[in-house]
Structure 1
């Protein structure tokens, strides 16, 4: 009986970890290994595979559509983060003010847009951006001479701005909640000491607020960059495809087209691994820049 109890004690940790390991191996490790194997083959659906070595990667480097997707994705990521981070921080600063009433209501109102999902937002913005009758075009027509006939979903120059506008509506409140929590964690005594020393609002923001919220700022920038490189549902549903002249084509959308519409799962796997390398490179570069800035 004592031996059985000792055996149970020794085996208990492994038994608790076993369900996770089984799920991880079945749904993460095996698919990852399978995708590596597929990236070295040319396929026509799941049943036909021809070994081609690294030809998929060689063709990928010369594929103009792939680089078009990369260009669109990088442009979207830079523009999105350049607007989303300041907008979220501005809303957080506003709601952190003691003079704002009903802060809980506004906090929930701004964050609630993040709860609906990309597909719902895409359908919603199909209506909001409709020529003449869409609320966005009607507002633009009432305050500018551009009129209310802007074809957001039909002109290549307006495709990415439409996606960015929808993504901002979805995610600004999400970033605001993180920034608000970070602002409330900054020591108030630092502000009081700086005010006694004669520091103005801008000096207090630059030397106290920004260093205090830097970890959250880095986190939101990193997560936003990774999410931007994974963009798929929003433009795909909004334009019912890659948009006019592939102006809304993203890397993940191109992967989907090659894998599930064309049927070349091998080439799609190569695109997926190239995306992994791109995200990894951007993440490492951003972390190193952040560390260098912090050390300096």
Structure 2
């Protein structure tokens, strides 16, 4: 028995065993259970196999609304949380930037705040009363107050705003790490050639940050489609006219509030397929998959 534990051939397997067990228990088993439940009608004490009926039920206006809102939310978060953190990271990485360490810490603090706590503050910020901060600013500027949480034209704005406030610092940190990996000799050579700041960013910084950009884009697409907290803290799953209905909110409503676990599992599986397809397309377009294959 002692030789078994001290075996050099078996030692690596003992080290990876905790990960394998946790992967099987908390990832692989739930995935297979979800696939199975998506073909079932689940009631208390009764489970019935119903084939593809749960997937057929997805062809309804509510699901299309949830898919549309999730897609729009994902688009705008990616459009903001990729270029802006990259530019801010370049400024914060510059030695000529005054107080850059203070700005780094300040921008990273929001991610340490709970989404529920931050969302509650944002909900008060965008209250319906004229005395709410956002409306008081609009009134002082001569505009009319807005019912922020009831207006479908601004609902994406307030959800994206909360997301950007929380995750901006994390993406800046990713880009700062990428900037540290760029050889300084390239910038020195560019200075000798008389290249300006914009030219160095275009021909050195931006191309060499491509791996970081692909990673941030990949996780942003995943986070966008799985968004739940930003909508929940504003409307607690019952938004007027379904203006805050995302795919995960729709899943939560059906699976846990209406106890339709089979239909909820079908929504989850479709969401998984959508995210895989979208990320596969963007990884192909950015050339990440081609490099892996070669």
The two structures have a TM-score, normalised by structure 1, of 0.90
CA distance in 1, matches of 2:139, 2:149: 17
CA contact (8 A) 2:283 2:289 kept: no
Give the number of aligned pairs.
288
Deviates more, 1:88-97 or 1:205-214: 88-97
Q: Deviations over 1:185-234 (max 9, x none)?
A: 32222122223323333221111010121111111111111000110011
- Tell me: CA distance 1:141–1:185, structure 2 relative to 1, closer, same or farther (3 Å): farther
State which of 50, 57, 69 in structure 2 corresponds to 1:52: 50
Shift of 1:293: 11
Where 2:268 maps in the other structure, the secondary structure is helix
Residue of structure 2 in register with 1:128 after alignment: 125
Residue of structure 1 in register with 2:28 after alignment: 29
CA distance in 1, matches of 2:189, 2:15: 51
Shift of 1:238: 1.2
Shift of 1:9: 2.8
CA contact (8 A) 1:159 1:243 kept: no
- Tell me: CA distance 1:171–1:52, structure 2 relative to 1, closer, same or farther (3 Å): same
The two structures have a TM-score, normalised by structure 2, of 0.90
Q: Does residue 104 of the first structure (1) align with residue 101 of the second (2)? A: yes
Residue of structure 1 in register with 2:41 after alignment: 42
Q: Deviations over 1:32-76 (max 9, x none)?
A: 2221111001223x433221101111221x122111101000000
Q: Note the residue ranges of structure 2 that are not aligned, 5 or more in a row.
A: none
Residue of structure 2 in register with 1:114 after alignment: 111
Tell me which stretches of 4 or more aligned residues in structure 1 moved more than 6 Å.
292-295
CA distance in 1, matches of 2:208, 2:160: 29
State which of 85, 90, 101 in structure 1 corresponds to 2:87: 90
State which of 160, 172, 177 in structure 2 corresponds to 1:176: 172
The root-mean-square deviation of aligned C-alpha atoms, in Å, is 2.1
Q: Does residue 233 of the first structure (1) align with residue 229 of the second (2)? A: yes
Residue of structure 1 in register with 2:76 after alignment: 79
Shift of 1:12: 4.8
CA contact (8 A) 2:252 2:264 kept: yes
Q: Note the residue ranges of structure 1 that are not aligned, 5 or more in a row.
A: none
After superposition, where does 1:193-272 map in structure 2 within 5 Å?
Answer: 193-272=189-268
- Tell me: CA distance 1:188–1:293, structure 2 relative to 1, closer, same or farther (3 Å): farther
CA contact (8 A) 1:125 1:166 kept: yes
CA distance in 2, matches of 1:265, 1:140: 44
